[in-house]
Amino acid sequence: MIPVSYNVRSLMVRKTTTIATALGIGLVVFVLAAAVMLWFGIKKTMVGAGRTDNAVVIRKGSDTEMASSIEVGTLNLILAAPGIKRDSSGPIGSGEIVVVIAQDKLGTDGQVSNVLVRGVTEGSLRTRPDIRVVDGRPPQPGTDEVMIGKGLVGNFAGMQIGSSFNLKKNRPVKVVGVFAAGGSSFESEVWASLDTARSSFGREGLVSSVTLRLDSPAKFDAFRATIENDKRLGLEALIETKYYEKQSEGTSIFILALGIIISIFFSVGAILGAVITMYAAVSQRQREIGTLRALGFSRFSILFSFLMESCLLALVGGLVGAAAAFCLGFVKISMMNFATWQEISFSFDPNPIVLAIAVVFAVGMGLVGGFLPAFRAARVSPVEAMRV
């Protein structure tokens, strides 16, 4: 077989075309890797809001908490179901109200965006121990106080400790705390007292959903059977991680599909660049190819060598593109969640799977772009090549 060092020297001799082709492939890989990283980031942010030992109960037929309504009188029946974990205060669970409000976004010349408001109780923090108040304190029950996720701080008018904003027209609330939730979607929410949220939006006697802690994930089936088999209730139960995974599907699929479509269009140009580069290499190296054939290297060795050179070129470009995409791991962006129409802060999630996808895609472009030139090189006649 022809040594790889031969292909490396060949690429180094043609620096201009090598760099141009590698950058073209790198751009394609950058777009694809960025889209996959954002897909992972959306999944991490949304699904990270749930726990496998938590269950969410909503009205049957409702896709989201916002579309659901449960009468307060039903709460005791839900909390009495088997499999719910208890502590000294009783069953660990909370009925919550979920609504979306429009708020002025800072730095956008008056542009508004949707923010999700969650009416919570003391049981909400017991149900979600991962949520930590990092500044200030939780709102007092029955007061016009709220705490906000750290993803909202400084992004919307009035959303910082000590400031106020209108929960609804002529209903100002004061921000008394900021909480962190491990980078999950909760960090893009406003948490108010349940009574405050209900009275502000005319939801007295109702909650949107009920979130409960289970003794263990294994207890979920028995809990769900109790809830869903009672036809009077008209409710359905989901594992919390599954619920939030469903919420992320629309946004994540859109981002991934868009990234793949753009990458496919860009890859056509990159592959054409690789084809032109390799055809030029074959044309310029007719004598070299003839010499290699005269030295006894087979057509297959020539074919494999030029394919190796094309893949090596693509691999370098792919690694450059992946490295550039991985730098996006320090960037946070805000996007609309198609399920709730709230704005959520997402971050790109670099991980080994993204690198593997980038390398495979780059090498694939190298194979496609290099096959025809390599096939042509393999067909070169030693006698005719020496006459050139």
The CA distance from 366 to 323, in Å, is 18
Chain centroid, CA 41 distance in Å: 3
Query: Do 233 and 227 touch, CB atoms closer than 8 A?
Result: yes
State residue 54's pLDDT score: 93
What residue spans define the domains of the chain?
A: 4-47+247-387, 54-215
Cα angle, residue 117 at apex, residues 130 and 175 outer, rounded to 5°: 80
Whether 386 shows a pLDDT value over 70: the answer reads no
Distance CA 278, CA 29 (A): 20
Q: Is 183 left (phi over 0), alpha (psi -120 to 50) or beta?
A: left
**Per-residue pLDDT tens digits for 126-141:** 999 889 999 999 888 8
Q: What single-letter amino acid sits at 66?
A: M
- Each residue's pLDDT tens digit, 282-337: 777 777 777 777 777 788 888 888 888 888 888 999 999 999 999 988 887 777 77
What is the model's pLDDT at position 383?
60
146: confidence class by pLDDT, cuts 50, 70, 90 = very high
> Which pLDDT value is given to residue 382?
64
What DSSP element (H or E) covers 132? Answer: strand 132-136
Q: Quick one: average pLDDT of 64-86?
A: 89
Q: What is the mean pLDDT of the chain?
A: 85
pLDDT in tens, 159-208: 899 899 988 888 899 999 999 988 888 999 999 999 999 988 888 889 99
- In the prediction, which pLDDT does 348 show? 86
22-34 confidence digits (pLDDT tens): 888 888 899 889 8
CB-based contact 180:232 (threshold 8 Å): no
Highest mean pLDDT among 6-15, 175-184, 240-249: 175-184
- Both tokens of residue 329? 């791991």
Q: Are 133 and 147 in contact (CB under 8 A)?
A: yes
Tell me the whole-structure pTM to 2 decimals: 0.77
The two beta strands, 171-180 and 164-168, are antiparallel
C-alpha Rg value of the chain to the nearest Å: 29
| pLDDT (tens digit per residue) in 333-358 | 777 776 777 778 778 888 899 999 98
Measured CA distances, 91 to 123, 151, 219, 228, 388 (Å):
9, 30, 14, 19, 87
Sole residue written with tokens 């990270």: 48
pLDDT at 129: 87
Residues 6+ apart with CB under 8 A from 146: 117, 139, 167, 173, 174, 175, 176, 190, 191, 192, 193, 196
149 pLDDT above the threshold of 60 = yes
The structure tokens 């406003």 sit at 190
Question: According to the model, what pLDDT value does residue 189 have?
Answer: 92
Element counts in the chain: helices (H) and strands (E): 11, 16
Decide: 141 and 195 in contact? Cβ < 8 Å: yes
pLDDT, greater one: 292 or 245: 245
